[in-house]
Structure 1
């Protein structure tokens, strides 16, 4: 792992990439299967999604649960550390919405 010189840098390092914060924001709704995430996160292909999920697991933000049933399925869930990031992401969501509305980049706020 690279040298981190600031605690804020550490958080931005683990949230790097376009999809990591979006995945975590979606995970706030509860456990998710890969198929659900693929359907809800538009523009992220399966390979990229799996890569980000694995990174988020490695950094301790997500946990992978494999159910030994037929048909076998896997779910992802937020760890306690991942849950701690949700209020910060909510603030970013709020600020992003304000920016988009102010700059007229967002026309439908539903």
Structure 2
């Protein structure tokens, strides 16, 4: 079997694709959250906890919460759990009244990929 330029280029492309493929799927996806999506809680939470599939960069991540009548909820600075770089904690600086709440989040994973999403929960 001779090593020709087309075969070398094909082999190089194959090995490059294998090496790069895991990076394509390396995004921080929201796995769990508290309060849970679509949950109705009786006690208003004092913080949100969002767990991701990989480590996140808190300095480039954020969460916006809106409540009844689309009123913005005041939150503290987001921070990463000191013992788990996949967990984002969002302090809530005001008492949540009964009603529906929308959580709009965005994160940057430790490898630089951005993801975002939304979910709802209710306070009874």
Which of the five TM-score ranges fits, normalised by the shorter chain?
Answer: under 0.3
Higher relative contact order (CA 8 A, sep 6+): 2
Answer 1 or 2: which has greater helix percent.
1
TM-score, scaled relative to structure 2: 0.24
Higher Cα radius of gyration: 2
Q: TM-score, normalised by structure 1?
A: 0.26
